[in-house]
Chains A and B, each alone.
Chain A
């Protein structure tokens, strides 16, 4: 029997004891998907607000202030505006591809959420190769960007798409290698087991022994989500808006959603693999037992929000990398660092 509270609650509600049937399981999973999507998309809406506020204050501005108190209704106003905007098509021969690209991007981003456990008792699917699944899906998300760039029939969009392809492929390698250290230490590819393995150490976070891996992972995550300082695919000052220069209205907002969901997924992955997920370090909970009372989901969300804040913080601070620097950093610095990390981790693991 599953430990998932949503699934179990549903089974209890309709009176199933023992092994649930296929139909009941499907309905239970659909309910889980709806809950996760609703919560995540709402968070995405307010992540844009949070971003504008954080960056605004870092630049001594106020950010959105006029729509609602302190601009709190701004994301809703933005969403409505995008929803009702005219849908413009460029003079392209690939209308189907053009239509599919944003859907594909959002699909890739959202399906990554399926494997992420938010707490040990709340997830959509608890699969034993969770890390590999998310790698696979984030590799697939490149296609959406390439399709958009190609079908837009615009030089800027095409360049953006090409850059994105090169960038994502390069950093995929570094990111995959950076997590191998975590896999070696935890002895598992399942997120829940990785988090539980972190609890066996007094520090409760793989961030400390795996700082090298975390460094590589963090930089690769920025590149993977196309965020500043690696936002070359959509570089505003060079490529107008890069791969989505030709998009407008709802299709544009799908790309936007995809980008923010990818950011949340990357933050969640970092939280699960390096920050101990929904748990606090044992040395803290031993010192202050009251901390055990905090529900795991709040700890998880707090850590994810910290990561998202760092994304914004970096965006407010750093300029964009030059393209050849980006490639040099990826292949000549990050991948060797990740390999060194793997070697050190496995030697220590073997000796210990």
Chain B
């Protein structure tokens, strides 16, 4: 044992060093966030609550019923039903996401050829009933509206719409050409949805913000307009 070791051992130098460290830490600012009072901004492209992107032109979802999302879903929580109109056209009869089964892998967002689905940055959406966690088409659209209302920037783009490492020339056209979506543009009145929506689904804080009677030109020059 050297003299240095002996002195360290007798005078408990290491313990005193440790004590000095903890004392110093006591006067430092705590790193705690007081969660319900101080909410942290979500990290961009956080995979949270599901939403349907509301199309600026039609005021409805963009889904083309290709079924890719429900096939790729590892937990098989996306249920899609197609319907047929009298004129032979297909329409989306049912689109449901069981968010309680979802594992938030984001495959559905990546695979969607028209970028209709989105996992939004909203992460606080727990509820007391299972029904509220079953996202129907109307709920998914209203989720988008509540995100649009809260979003701080004027445009929105989820990086999983165009995943890294894939040659963008191999992507479908809608995906390849998707520009950041302007959120401050007034959308066209969602006429069909408003009538189809059952009253029971309306939740007070999540009701879609009432779309003002839209100026039709908004759809054509959507990139420029940043009204309101």
* Chain A residues with a Cβ under 8 A of chain B: 54, 56-62, 65, 313-314, 316-318
Contacts and interface: CB of A to CB of B under 8 A. Distances in A.
B30 A313 contact: no
Contacts of B29: 60
Specify which of B18, B26, B28, B31 lies most central, judged by the most chain A CB atoms within 10 Å of its CB. Answer: B26
Contacts of B28: 60
B34 A65 contact: yes
6 contacts: A58-B26, A60-B30, A65-B32, A313-B19, A313-B22, A317-B18
A314 B32 CA distance: 23
Specify which of A54, A65, A316, A318 lies most central, judged by the most chain B CB atoms within 10 Å of its CB. Answer: A316
B15 interface: yes
Query: B interface, how many residues as a size bin?
Result: 10 to 19
Contacts of A314: 19
Contact of B22 (A58, A61, A65): A58
Given A62-B32, A65-B34, A57 B26 contact: yes
B23 interface: yes
Nearest to B20: A317
Contacts of A57: 25-27, 30
A318 B32 contact: no
B26 A61 contact: no
Interface in B29-57: 29-32, 34
Given A57-B26, A316-B22, A317-B15, 7 more contacts: A56-B30, A57-B25, A58-B23, A62-B30, A65-B32, A313-B23, A314-B19
B22 A317 contact: yes
A103 B30 CA distance: 39
B25 A59 contact: yes
Contacts of B18: 317-318
Interface in B169-217: none
A65 B32 CA distance: 11
Contact of A60 (B19, B23, B25, B34): B25
B19 A58 contact: no
A99 B72 CA distance: 61
B79 to A, nearest CB: 41
A157 B108 CA distance: 53
Contacts of B30: 56-57, 60-62
A205 to B, nearest CB: 20
Contacts of B32: 60-62, 65
B14 to A, nearest CB: 10
Contact of B31 (A54, A60, A316): A60
Contacts of A61: 30-32
B19 A317 contact: yes
B219 to A, nearest CB: 49
A314 B23 CA distance: 10
B64 to A, nearest CB: 49
Nearest to B34: A65
Contacts of B27: 57
A57 to B, nearest CB: 5
A56 B28 CA distance: 11
Contacts of A318: 15, 18
Given A313-B19, A317-B19, A318-B18, A54 B26 contact: yes
A58 B28 CA distance: 8
A61 B15 CA distance: 22
Nearest to A315: B22
A60 B21 CA distance: 12
The 3 closest A-B pairs by CB, nearest first: A62-B32, A58-B22, A317-B22
B19 to A, nearest CB: 5
A73 B90 CA distance: 63
A239 B151 CA distance: 51
A52 to B, nearest CB: 13
B33 to A, nearest CB: 10
A314 B18 CA distance: 9
Contacts of B15: 317-318
Contacts of A58: 22-23, 25-26
B40 to A, nearest CB: 16
A135 to B, nearest CB: 26
A57 B15 CA distance: 19
Contacts of B22: 58, 313, 316-317
A56 B31 CA distance: 11
A317 B25 CA distance: 11
A52 B111 CA distance: 50
A316 B34 CA distance: 22
B153 to A, nearest CB: 32
Contacts of B21: 317
